[in-house]
Structure 1
Amino acid sequence: MTIQIFHNPRCSKSREALALLQGQTLAVEVIDYLKTAPSLAQLQALHQTLAVPVREMLRSNEDEFKALNLGAPELSDAELLAALAAHPRLLQRPIVVNGDRAVIARPPELALSVL
């Protein structure tokens, strides 16, 4: 099975997680989500696999988060996922997926927990 990593090459944590995975001699599919944004359906599936609140998938320190008022508690999961689909930069990184298991690899060593 191929391990997937939702990766931002400019992010040091994402680079560290990728290096850890590659050091395990695994087949790793690198998804540069800023170049190839995940669809709403892919984000919904990723949310289900992660089994965390949608808010944990969001990067709250990004300008778009503040500009779109995504910290508002009344926003539904559907609204937050739609914002992620429209603004992929908001996706927390890195996210590592292995079949029906996934983790937000912060710290990067968490990437190994889904192997």
Structure 2
Amino acid sequence: MKPSNTEITIFHNPSCGTSRNVLALIREAGVEPRVVDYQKTPYTRDQLAGMLLAMDLRPRDVLRTKGDLYTQLDLARPDWTDEQLLDTLVRHPVLVERPIVVTPLGTRLCRPKERLFEVLPAARPV
């Protein structure tokens, strides 16, 4: 049985190749997910904190280190607390690695894209 459309959400960045590939894999599985362009509809603090908890990750684990903003904000400093990093990720969603996929089977940062198969068995290649 394939998950219904409303059961799968991808937090997507259309300019990211990995994000586009994961979205394509979901659709190839016969599912049309809820697509959230998190740059247009940013994460709420509670939403991002909940997804981190569901993935058993800390804010630094999903922090995108590529790009000028990471350097400008000096986010490599080890003295940033989880709370400070979470607030920064909410203020600057471009700093969150992508894509994050939420399904009834779990939540995953799908980097690499094959991580999707851990929470979307319908997409598992035969």
Q: For this structure pair, what is the TM-score category when the shorter chain's length is used for normalisation? A: over 0.9
Tell me, yes or no, if structure 1 residue 74 matches structure 2 residue 74.
no
Alignment-derived partner of residue 63 in structure 2 = 58
1:45 aligns with 2:50: yes
- How far does residue 36 in structure 1 lie from its aligned partner after superposition? 0.5
Percent identical = 37
Give the match's secondary structure for 1:73.
Answer: coil
In structure 1, the residue matched to 2:102 is 97
TM-score normalised to the size of structure 1? 0.93
Q: Distance in 2 between matches of 1:99 and 1:46?
A: 13
The letter of the residue matching 2:38 is: Y
Q: Distance in 2 between matches of 1:99 and 1:24?
A: 15
The one of 17, 20, 28 equivalent to 1:23 is: 28
Q: Does the CA-based 8 Å contact 1:49-1:100 persist in structure 2? A: no
**CA distance in structure 1 between the aligned counterparts of 2:77 and 2:104, rounded to whole angstroms:** 32
Residue 103 of structure 1 and its aligned partner are, at CA, apart by 1.1
Distance 1:104 1:34 in 2: 16
Native 8 Å contact 1:21 1:112 kept in 2: no
Tell me the number of residue pairs that the alignment of Structure 1 and Structure 2 aligns: 115
d(CA) in 1 for partners of 2:38 and 2:60? 18
**Aligned Cα RMSD in Å?**
1.3
1:50-82 deviation line (CA, Å, top 9, x unaligned): 112221111011211111111111111110000
Name structure 1 gaps, 5 residues minimum.
Answer: none
**Rg (Cα) greater in structure:** 2
Runs of 4+, deviation exceeding 3 Å:
none
